[in-house]
Structures are given as C-alpha cells and as structure tokens.
C-alpha cells in the first residue's frame, strides 16, 4: 500500500492541530476501526484526535441542513482528509434535472450547463412509451446511446440513401453520426428508457433539426415544387414540432426491412450488443467491457467502458491520457476520488442515475461502497479508449527510480500488482 509514509498531511480545510498527523497514523486508525483507508471511521478517529484538548466540536453543524442530500453524499459533507482545494464539480444527477413531459414520454439532460467543466460530452435520459416516437431529426453532435430498459426500433439514413433499421433492447448500443437523420420508437407493451451521450458539452435536446420544423418553415410554393404533394394537403402537416409523440406500433422488423429492399444498409452496423459481449477484462473484483471504434467501427467519435465492481472492489487508480471522462451510474453505490493538478482533490459519493466527471488526465479511483454490484459507464470523446494504470507504471519503473520517488524499499514496492488489472478486488 502506498499510504505508509511519515509525510505530514496538510489540509487547510482543517484547523491547525497540536501534533502533525502522519499517514501512518491514519492507517493505524483505520486498522483499529476495521475500516477502509477512506472510510468514515478513519475520519471520526482522526477528528477525535484532532479535537483532543479542544472545547467545541468543529465538525458539528447546528444550523439548517438538507438531511436526505447529506445522507446521499457523506463525502461532500464530511470530506476525507485527502480532499484539498477546488478541482471543480465532479457530480450531478439526472434526478436534479427537470423532465420535459410530452404525450408519449419525457426527456431530461445533464450538459455543460449543469456540470460546467464537462465541455466534451453531454447526456440525455429519455423515455418513450409503447409506439411513441422521438421525432425524426438530426443534430450537430454524434449520438451514442445505451438502452436501459425495454425495446425500441431505431432507424438512421446515410447520405448515400441507404437506411439502417434495427430493434434494440436493454444493454444494446446505437451510434448515429452527426447530421445523419434518425428515429427512435418505443416497442413492446411498455416502450423503453435509454441514455444518450453527445460529443458536445453544450448539446441540448431542445436544439435539434426536426422534420416537422423543416417542412413548417419552408414556403408552400417551394414545398409543393419539392414534393409534388397537393397543396390542399398541407394543412394536415404538423404546424409545429412533434418532438416526442404517441403513434401506433410499427410493422414487424422483417416487413419494414423488406420494404427497404436493396436500400437497407447492411455493411455499416449502427447497433452493438454491449451487455452480451465477452468482458474485455475480468478479475475477482468484477469486469469491464470496452467498446470503441475498434470493435464498433461506426462509433468514431465516442468510446465507452461499462464497469461492474463487486462490493468493496475498486476501479484501480488510473487516468486517461487523451480525454476527459463522463460517467453514468447505472446501479449500486460508490465513491470516486479525483486528484488533479496543484494537489486539488475531491471525493464524492454516487448513486444510480448520477453523472460523474473527471477532468482530462486527472488521476481517479472508484470504490464500490454498497452491498450489491456497482455498474457504471465511463464515456469518452475519442475513437480509441486509452488508460494509464498507476500499478503498471510503478511496475515498469526500474528499482532505483521507484525507490527514489516512493521512499520505499523495492521489496515493498514490488508487492503491488505488477500489471494493469483495471479492477482490483476488495
């Protein structure tokens, strides 16, 4: 373990203490409390020590408080001693984002407006009831999606006139390149819910190019010349956006593909079965599935990793050398620590439907703090997933280089995992 040096812990958030606190002292406290390095008992212990000889409890909070928020995020309320400075926000939740309700479903979004440092990616969470459409549209960002529940039919048309048409279910992905017009329709008895990720931080679901608006805002003369539709029919066209709206269920997939005939796109595959793929990495602590342009060729702008951590397991200390990370937490509970430049560090707790953010290249770790599996998505604005593993880096350091930097003996240093594990068990 690396937390065994005698170096003094400096944290300006805390009031001065009578004796310097060493990391060894924290480890001792953790062992006594039978808790993890960052567990609350460590803090309780060290705070007790800090408070020895003091008259008041400087951690008390006698004024008003939002109890349910504090219970969800104890790390924000009572930061671990490793937190320092302000690296910017790393947490938001779809459950704080107002829903746009429509007949046929709803949508809400977490973008750069909600999480200002997230300039690379934005997310939209959407529900479509059975038969309901997200209106035919296109946009300036690339769109990556994962089905969360239910079933949907998607279509996307290529500039060469071929249309891709497929049905998707929970755990499946789709990818629509910027500018390619597409549709999503809820299927089955209860439609679907899905997450969309766009490679523009300030993307807005309210700012897409819509079929209805293109028609409504082109003069009837031009529209008639363009379509040859009788002018008398134009009053039936939607006068304004449909956006999300109810419709009847489509014909069978086979029938719709048959209708397309040779105009059905079969070379490019715009869907991918992420849940069903073999894990890219599997250890005693869980598994990771990585999907980028190497195994999902159309996904040129966005890469993804779906990580499952067993209780107590961690996504090992690492960073991404090419891009920031945007996370969607699907299931379970966890805690993330992010360390960036100038010793700025923050730890936050996460639950299902939360969004996490890691600045480009910042070191980070995620721990499953719950009693069930934790599942989350790491999303990147890149064609190729990349990460640097701290353990693997240390393992490649020649002995004297490693000893000089870590102040540990090589016999201790080499006790660490000697390769990239991605996931480490409890």
The residues that touch Mn ion, with contacts defined as CB under 5 A, are 143, 325, 378
How buried is 167 (Cβ within 10 angstroms: 0-12 exposed, 13-18 middle, 19+ buried)? middle
Residue 177 near residue 197 (C-beta atoms within 8 A): no
What is d(CA 419, CA 32) in angstroms, rounded to the nearest whole number?
Answer: 31
Alpha-carbon distance values, 174 to 20, 48, 160, 178, 286 (Å): 54, 52, 19, 13, 25
Measure CA 86 to chain center.
21
Residue 298 near residue 270 (C-beta atoms within 8 A): yes
Residue 314 near residue 285 (C-beta atoms within 8 A): yes
Q: How far is the CB of 327 from Mn ion (least distance, A)?
A: 8
What is d(CA 166, CA 251) in angstroms, rounded to the nearest whole number?
Answer: 12
Measure CA 204 to chain center.
17
Name the 3-class secondary structure at 276: coil
Distance separating the N- and C-terminal Cα atoms of the chain: 13
Show Cβ contacts of residue 209 under 8 Å, excluding neighbours closer than 6 positions.
Answer: 137, 138, 139
How buried is 335 (Cβ within 10 angstroms: 0-12 exposed, 13-18 middle, 19+ buried)? buried
Q: In which element (H, E) is residue 197 found? A: strand 192-198
Q: Which is nearer to Mn ion, 287 or 378 (CB)?
A: 378
Write out the two tokens for 18. Answer: 């009578």
Q: What is the DSSP letter of 249?
A: P
Buried b (16+ CB within 10 A) or exposed e, 387-401: bebbbbebbeeeeee
Alpha-carbon torsion angle 11, 16, 18, 24, nearest 10: -10
Q: Which is nearer to Mn ion, 45 or 107 (CB)?
A: 107
Q: Which is nearer to Mn ion, 154 or 274 (CB)?
A: 154
Q: In which element (H, E) is residue 223 found? A: helix 220-227
Q: Which is nearer to Mn ion, 184 or 402 (CB)?
A: 184
Q: Which is nearer to Mn ion, 16 or 159 (CB)?
A: 159
For strands 334-339 and 163-169, give the pairing.
unpaired
Active site residues: 378
Q: φ, ψ for residue 187 (rounded to 5)?
A: -120, 180
Q: Which is nearer to Mn ion, 21 or 120 (CB)?
A: 120
């Amino acid at each position: 373990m690396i937390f065994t040096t005698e170096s003094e812990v400096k944290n300006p958030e805390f009031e001065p203490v009578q004796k310097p606190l060493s990391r060894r002292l924290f480890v001792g406290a953790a062992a006594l409390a039978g808790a993890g390095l960052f567990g609350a008992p460590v803090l309780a212990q060290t705070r007790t020590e800090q408070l020895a000889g003091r008259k008041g409890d400087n951690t008390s909070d006698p004024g008003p408080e939002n109890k349910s928020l504090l219970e969800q995020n104890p790390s924000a309320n009572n930061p671990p001693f490793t937190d320092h400075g302000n690296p910017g926000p790393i947490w938001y939740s779809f459950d704080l984002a107002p829903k746009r309700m429509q007949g046929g479903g709803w949508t809400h979004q977490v973008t750069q407006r909600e999480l200002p440092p997230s300039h690379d990616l934005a997310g939209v969470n959407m529900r479509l009831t059975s038969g309901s459409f997200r209106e035919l549209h296109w946009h300036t960002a690339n769109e990556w999606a994962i089905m969360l529940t239910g079933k949907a039919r998607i279509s996307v048309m290529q500039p060469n006139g071929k249309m891709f048409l497929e049905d998707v279910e929970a755990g499946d992905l789709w990818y629509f390149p910027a500018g390619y017009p597409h549709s999503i329709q809820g299927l089955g008895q209860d439609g679907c819910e899905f997450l969309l990720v766009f490679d523009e931080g300030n993307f807005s679901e309210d700012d897409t190019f819509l079929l209805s608006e293109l028609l409504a805002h082109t003069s009837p003369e031009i529209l008639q010349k363009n379509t040859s539709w009788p002018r008398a029919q134009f009053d039936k066209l939607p006068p304004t956006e449909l956006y999300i709206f109810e419709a009847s269920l489509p014909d069978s997939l086979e029938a719709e593909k048959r209708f397309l005939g040779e105009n059905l796109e079969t070379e490019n595959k715009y869907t991918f079965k992420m849940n069903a793929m073999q894990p890219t990495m599997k250890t005693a602590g869980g598994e990771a599935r990585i999907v980028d342009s190497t195994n999902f060729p159309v996904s040129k702008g966005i890469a993804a990793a779906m990580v499952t951590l067993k209780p107590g397991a961690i996504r090992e200390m690492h960073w991404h050398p090419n891009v920031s990370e945007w996370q969607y937490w699907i299931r379970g509970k966890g805690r993330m620590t992010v360390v960036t430049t100038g010793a700025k560090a923050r730890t936050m707790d996460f639950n299902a439907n939360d969004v996490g953010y890691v600045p480009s290249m910042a070191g980070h770790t995620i721990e499953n703090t719950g009693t069930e599996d934790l599942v989350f998505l790491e999303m990147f604005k890149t064609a190729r997933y990349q990460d640097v593993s701290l353990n693997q880096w240390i393992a490649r350091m020649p002995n004297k280089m490693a000893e000089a930097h870590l102040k540990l003996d090589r016999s201790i240093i080499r006790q660490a995992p000697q390769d990239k594990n991605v996931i480490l068990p409890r």
